Amino acid sequence: MTVEQPFWLKPLNQMSEQEWESLCDGCGKCCLNKLIDDETEEVYFTNVACTLLNDKSCECSRYPNRFKYVPDCYRVTADNVATTTWLPPSCAYRRLHEGRGLPSWHPLLTGSKSEMHKQGMSIRRKVLSEDQVGPDPDLIGYIVVWPLDEVE
């Protein structure tokens, strides 16, 4: 009898759309406004989230139609994950692309998002909406200090 390996062990470009989407742990970090240093290309995450992000569920309130509401929302794919340098180090797409596997708290391993929230790896109740900070805020004052990296 052969034991089937988990789908996340196969190459990213061989995953179905459903498999690809399920890799997202739902942490919400990709929906944060980010600052990128022009000289060093270092990425700084802020605690200012897209207006569509629900800070309790850590989900986009308009996910299927998000591009209609936020035209510069970015779709991460197997084809562009290598060049999407602003993904947090804990992101499953980034981790799998880099050959690091899923973190121990990932919902595909634990069966729910609760361990991710418990480990402090989501944005749950840690962010402000863009609507709260107003148009064109100075985001330097909003750079986050909570963990963005994986906790193992």
pLDDT of residue 147: 65
Q: Which residue has the higher pLDDT, 101 or 136?
A: 101
Confidence band (pLDDT; 50, 70, 90) for 11? Answer: very high
Q: How high is the pLDDT of residue 148?
A: 62
**How many Cα atoms occupy the beta-carbon half-sphere of 86 within 13 Å?**
17
* pTM recorded for the entire structure: 0.90
Q: How far is 105 from 111, CA to CA, in rounded Å?
A: 9
pLDDT, residue 141, reads 93
The predicted-structure confidence for 106-137, as pLDDT tens digits, reads as follows 999 999 999 999 988 999 999 999 999 987 78
Q: What is the pLDDT of residue 114?
A: 94
pLDDT of residue 135: 77
pLDDT, tens digit, 9 for 90 and up, residues 35-93: 999 999 999 999 999 999 999 999 999 999 999 999 999 999 999 999 999 999 999 99
- pLDDT tier at 3 (50, 70, 90 boundaries)? confident
Could you state, in order of their start, the residue ranges of all structural domains in the chain? 7-142
- pLDDT at residue 145 is higher than 90: no
Phi, psi of 101, rounded to the nearest 5 degrees: 75, 175
- On the question of pLDDT at 152 being above 70, the answer is no
Identity at 111, one-letter amino acid code: G
